[in-house]
Amino acid sequence: MKKICAICTLAILALSTSGHADVTPNALFSDHAVLQSGAPIPVWGTATPGEKIIVKIGKQTKSTTAGADGRWMVRLGKLKPGGPFVMTIAGKNTVTVNDLLVGEDWIGSGQSNMEFTLSVKAARFAGILNEDQEIAAANYPQLRIFTAKQKKSYEPQDEIAGSWKIATPENAPAFSAVAYLFGRDLNQALHEPVGMVVVAYGASTAEAWISRSVLANDPQMSPRLTRFDDLYNFFKAHPGATTDQAPPPPQTINARPAQPGPMRDPVQDQHEPTVLYNGMIHPILPFAMRGVIWYQGESIVGGKAGVALYPHVMESLVKDWRAEWGEGDFPFYCVQLPPLKNVSNNPAVREGQSMILSLPNTGMAVTLDVGDPANVHPKDKEPVGDRLSRIALANVYHRKIEYSGPVYAGMKIQGQNIVISFTHADGLTSKGGPLKWFQIAGADGRYVDATASIEGKTVVVHSDQITAPVSVRYAWDNYPQGANLVNGAGLPAAPFRTDTQDALTPIASEFTGK
């Protein structure tokens, strides 16, 4: 009898132990974090179901009760920039979060050029032009960067792995170069703390960062989700299958046919839809932040049709994230792809990227002058950070600075000439010599190289070969080396065209997809 009672007691103890969990905040709320100023701040984590949680920071105290799933969330009231602060999160145990600052938070996301680190010693995509000098100067105690551990998932996840690091020469080598340079420039201009949360994955497609519900309810994108689900179910049902036995995986526009081999778990393919949203975006929702910087576009699946669909995919991503965060139309700024002698960085993709500007509160950093003919990861990242920060400083923080290069506004035909007008055209000039990369066409749509000259805030384009011009284009090439139209701030014009032809027709033969 005593033996039976002892067994019962052990069983009860085991059950009570298994039902207990320490109070654990999301990794975003850890030492050296930056919290967003001027906005309600969600703070969340896990604990024992039904456990009372008390969060304190400064003069604020908020409490809640962990739900049946052990999850809890409080919302702190608005905080003013400053710090450092200490935050305590208490239930049965107490977690103390030290050295918190309050300032400006931004998300940095996309593929390898956002993942690209300051030092070549830190990662595969790495090494800015002046890495030694930049790293030695990286002494910005009010700049902190949270680099999320990469994760792909079939189901939405709640936890993220990572930690906040202060900008020091010791920590800087492993920082995302674009996120660091952007954050550094904001910190120095605003004289306020800045936090960057980096959630990036090399070679990822835009679809990988979109939620399942948005993909499933969109007739244009749902076929990709269906194909992914079919591939996932095949993989589960056929362990040991080879790639030649399985449905084909997605192919980027510049992919080479792969040799048959063991089938890979499709969830671990960053080209597949929703896997990075599930693994890296869902876990950080709804972290209070100011906006997003985005560098992606080299990886597009579906060949010519995929490039044509890309603007819709990006529009869907922006709307999805804005809906999920619940902060309204927060700023979303992208980087237009730099020049590269590869079909992945072609003018049709750059044009597709520019269409994001039709959405409110968006911006685009043009990088037509900082490419590399043979490297998809150009090392000249300083201008990228500068141009992104200019957009933010002008449009979010209301600094009176130029933030855009010349933007095509319209054209007029005057005899054998076409006169192009621009916005952001103060001090319109050519950098390093006569204007290059302007082409002109007649009614047949056949473009020829043209001469171009600046007259005030306009450019006059002419070719003796075209007696009745109808359209003009600029820098319409994968690698328009020497394209040099800039404004007085030295910011480059983006590629553009004035015709409505099928933009992909001249380059369709370059695509491996149909």
Domains in the chain: boundaries = 407-510
Residue 513 has pLDDT above 50, yes or no: no
Helices and strands (DSSP H and E) totals, the chain:
10, 24
Q: How far apart are CA 108 and CA 116, in angstroms?
A: 11
Q: According to DSSP H, which parts of 194-336 are helical?
A: 212-216, 222-237, 275-276, 303-325
Structure tokens of 473?
Answer: 């284009």
Look at residue 445 and tell me whether its pLDDT is greater than 80: yes
Three-state SS letters, 44-93: EEECCCCCEEEEEECCEEEEEECCCCCEEEEEECCCCCEEEEEEEEECCC
The reply to whether CATH 3.40.50 applies to domain 407-510 is no
pLDDT exceeds 80 at position 502: no
- Token pair for 463: 């070719």
Rounded to two decimals, the pTM is 0.94
Residue 256's pLDDT is: 74
Residues 44/286, Cβ–Cβ less than 8 Å: no
The tokens of 444 are what? Answer: 């047949």
Torsion over CA: 435, 437, 438, 439 (sign): positive
Sign of CA dihedral 109, 113, 119, 125: positive
Compute the half-sphere exposure of residue 292: CA atoms within 13 Å on the CB side of its CA. 24
pLDDT tens digits for range 145-197: 999 999 999 999 999 999 999 999 999 999 999 999 999 999 999 999 999 99
What pLDDT is attached to residue 3? Answer: 44
The pLDDT, as a whole number, for residue 43 is: 98
Amino acid at position 9, single letter: T
pLDDT at residue number 18: 42
Over range 467-494, report the average pLDDT: 97
Q: What is the mean pLDDT of residues 110-116?
A: 98
Q: What DSSP state is assigned to residue 378?
A: -
Res 129 pLDDT > 70: yes
At which residue do the structure tokens 């709307």 appear? Answer: 319
In the predicted structure, residue 15 carries a pLDDT above the cut 80 = no
**Among 122-131, 174-183, 211-220, 285-294, whose mean pLDDT is lowest?**
122-131
Mean per-residue pLDDT of the chain: 93
pLDDT (mean) for 114-141: 94
Cα–Cα separations (whole angstroms), residue 451 to 12, 104, 364: 86, 46, 28
